A and B are shown apart, each in its own frame.
Chain A
Amino acid sequence: MSTAGNNGRALPWALVTPALGWTLLFFVLPFIAMGFSSLTAHEGGGFTASNYSQFFTNPSYWQAMVNSLQVTAIVTVVSVLLAYPFAWILAEQVPERWQRLALMLAVLPFWTSYVVRSYSWLLVLAQNGVINRALTGSGLFSEPLQLANTRFATVTGFVHFFVMLLTLTIFANLKQLSPSYRKAAADLGAGPVRTFLHVILPLTLPGIMVGAFLTFVLCIGDYITPQILGGNNELLMPQLVMMQIGRRGDFPLASALSIILMAVVTIAYLACARWLKIERA
């Protein structure tokens, strides 16, 4: 395949080495440094496993992981349930020539700044924000509801972002299905509901799993949304990590907590990969 001629083996390596070197130096090496750091004591250095054992013995650290997993699970399920029918409507009910525009509109706020998007939700959910004004103004409630700085606010902010992301992936998935599946099901006498339940849904399930996994990974590692919308009433893992750096400069503990967070994502990945394989069989 190579037609490099005189340059021989030098040229291809010269092409790929800068990118490989960059990745090794600024991605792999930092990771190793973080691993070392996580095994040192914050005060006085020296090797120790106490940063890891703290996570299992300190109930507030443990609680942050439980909160993170709960929020992530709720967000993933709610986002999939909201996005699937929406993507289906865009792919099946909207006329072909409007589909591109409809999809672009549906994901437009996806491209706004992440920090600004969370702040915008704060405007909507604040004590005297749009929703509370509408509720008290219409006389439904006499007192404004506590919506901001709650788990509800964090979940709303996350769901907003992931509905857009999942709409994109599920829409692509639905459009890839060949129309002959639907025709075959109809020929065999299945109505629209049975066709959906027994043909369309199972065929799009692997795509949904990929989207759900992506949601899980991005959601559990995000610091911005819980910090802006959830506040400090209930800490999630990324907030706990950032707290160690900000308040106490405790890099070893922050490193250990980051590695634990990554381990959880890896376990989820392995579980998900196995599930997907079973689906394919």
Chain B
Amino acid sequence: MRRIVRIASWLYALAVYGFIFLPVVVLVLFSLQATSFPIPPFTGPSLRWYDAVLSDTRLTSALVNSLLVASISSLAAVTLGFLSAWGFARFVLPGSGLLRGLITLPLTVSYLIIGMGLLVLFNWAGVPKSLLAAGIGHVVINLPLCFAIIYSQMGDHQINIERAARDLGAPEWKVLLLITVPVMAPAIFAGFFLSMTFSWDEFVISFLLTRFDTTLPVEIWNLLRSGLNPKTNAVGSLVFAVSIVLVVLFELTLLRRRRA
């Protein structure tokens, strides 16, 4: 009986791993295709489609745009999230529960609806479509995440260190910069990298709120109109690589926090 369960488990797990990895393997494999169609038979390996991606200025500028929007919007989200988490964790504010609920509310609404709302508002207020508009949307989706991560990590242990600093005469800004920020660094980094990952990957808000200068997921979407193309495979594989790097950084910061 035990043996049968064990063998069945292995087979099942292998099948699910196969299902999970099938599209990724096909994507990366056919990004190395030598001919013009990313379908069997495999004719590679060749790096010509990576060359094509790197010499396509629309894709490379979209990549730079994506990195810019992701890093600046994540920085804004983590700053706003950290300051508000500190405020709510350290001080008694009237209606605190309700206000914290308000900050985390965007987590419950789909990106499509957040994007639609901003589109209608900006359209009505005469704000043109731009990377800035998309960045504003990215802060809306990432601020609640940063707030929740940092707020949940603010324990009594840190309060005592802050009190000690104040007793020794440190002004409030010094407590913030020299005590709270370094102590909270792992949670702050975790919030930042998670925001980077989500902003880097976000499509619908950028699609609705940008026009000519746009982010990489939107540019990839435009490539899809030309059907199956190894160039799309190549840029997709590159995007995958960047996401993996971000996730590994996120994992490492989390692990460091756990060991501390």
Task: List the interface of chain A (C-beta within 8 A of B).
Answer: 1-5, 7, 11-16, 18-20, 22-24, 26-31, 33-34, 37, 82, 85-86, 89-90, 93-94, 104-106, 108-109, 111-117, 119-124, 126, 128-130, 133, 160, 163-164, 217-218, 220-224, 228, 238, 241-242, 245, 251, 254-255, 258, 261-262, 265, 269
User: Which partner residue on chain A sits nearest B2 by CB separation?
Assistant: A192
Whether B139 and A114, one on each chain, are in contact in the complex, defined by CB atoms closer than 8 angstroms, is no
Chain A: minimal CB distance from B237 (Å): 8
CA distance A117 to B201 in the complex (A): 11
B23, B91, B93, B103: which has the most chain A beta carbons within 10 Å? B23
**Interfacial chain A residues near B106, Cβ < 8 Å:** 23, 27
Interchain Cβ contacts under 8 Å between A and B, 14 examples = A2-B90, A5-B172, A20-B99, A20-B102, A20-B103, A26-B139, A30-B117, A85-B12, A105-B17, A106-B17, A119-B232, A123-B39, A130-B26, A218-B110
Whether B24 and A224, one on each chain, are in contact in the complex, defined by CB atoms closer than 8 angstroms, is no
Whether B117 and A116, one on each chain, are in contact in the complex, defined by CB atoms closer than 8 angstroms, is no
**Interfacial chain B residues near A115, Cβ < 8 Å:** 203, 217, 220-221, 224
**Interfacial chain B residues near A133, Cβ < 8 Å:** 39-40
A86, A104, A269: which has the most chain B beta carbons within 10 Å? A86
**Interfacial chain B residues near A130, Cβ < 8 Å:** 22, 26, 39-40
Whether A19 and B84, one on each chain, are in contact in the complex, defined by CB atoms closer than 8 angstroms, is yes
B143 within 8 A of A: yes
Interface residues of B in 105-135 (CB under 8 A from A): 105-106, 108-114, 116-121, 123-124
Chain B: minimal CB distance from A281 (Å): 24
**Interfacial chain B residues near A241, Cβ < 8 Å:** 112, 116
CA distance A15 to B106 in the complex (A): 20
User: Which partner residue on chain B sits nearest A131 by CB separation?
Assistant: B22
Of B20, B140, B208, the residue contacting A27 (CB under 8 A) is B140
Whether A89 and B22, one on each chain, are in contact in the complex, defined by CB atoms closer than 8 angstroms, is no
CA distance A3 to B217 in the complex (A): 47
Task: List the interface of chain B (C-beta within 8 A of A).
Answer: 5-6, 9-10, 12-13, 16-17, 19-24, 26-27, 30, 37-40, 80-81, 83-84, 86-88, 90-93, 99, 102-103, 105-106, 108-114, 116-121, 123-124, 136-137, 139-140, 143, 147, 163, 166, 172, 197, 200-201, 203-204, 208, 217, 220-221, 224, 228, 232-233, 236, 239-240, 243-244, 246-247, 251
Chain B: minimal CB distance from A238 (Å): 5
Whether B90 and A1, one on each chain, are in contact in the complex, defined by CB atoms closer than 8 angstroms, is yes
CA distance A246 to B21 in the complex (A): 34
Of B17, B81, B117, B123, the residue contacting A31 (CB under 8 A) is B117
User: Which partner residue on chain A sits nearest B203 by CB separation?
Assistant: A115
Whether A34 and B143, one on each chain, are in contact in the complex, defined by CB atoms closer than 8 angstroms, is no
B99, B109, B120: which has the most chain A beta carbons within 10 Å? B120
Whether B204 and A93, one on each chain, are in contact in the complex, defined by CB atoms closer than 8 angstroms, is no
Of A13, A128, A242, A269, the residue contacting B39 (CB under 8 A) is A128
User: Which partner residue on chain A sits nearest B109 by CB separation?
Assistant: A262
Whether B6 and A109, one on each chain, are in contact in the complex, defined by CB atoms closer than 8 angstroms, is no
Chain B: minimal CB distance from A51 (Å): 13
Chain B: minimal CB distance from A279 (Å): 21
Of A16, A90, A122, the residue contacting B88 (CB under 8 A) is A16
**Interfacial chain B residues near A12, Cβ < 8 Å:** 87, 90-91, 93
**Interfacial chain B residues near A255, Cβ < 8 Å:** 116, 120
B5, B84, B99, B163: which has the most chain A beta carbons within 10 Å? B84
Whether A37 and B120, one on each chain, are in contact in the complex, defined by CB atoms closer than 8 angstroms, is yes
Of B40, B136, B166, the residue contacting A3 (CB under 8 A) is B166
If A18-B84, A111-B243 touch, whether A119 touches B224 (CB-CB below 8 Å) is: yes
Whether A4 and B91, one on each chain, are in contact in the complex, defined by CB atoms closer than 8 angstroms, is yes
Whether A262 and B113, one on each chain, are in contact in the complex, defined by CB atoms closer than 8 angstroms, is yes
**Interfacial chain B residues near A105, Cβ < 8 Å:** 17
Chain B: minimal CB distance from A27 (Å): 5
CA distance A16 to B240 in the complex (A): 36
Of B9, B91, B239, the residue contacting A93 (CB under 8 A) is B9
User: Which partner residue on chain B sits nearest A128 by CB separation?
Assistant: B39
Whether B110 and A30, one on each chain, are in contact in the complex, defined by CB atoms closer than 8 angstroms, is no
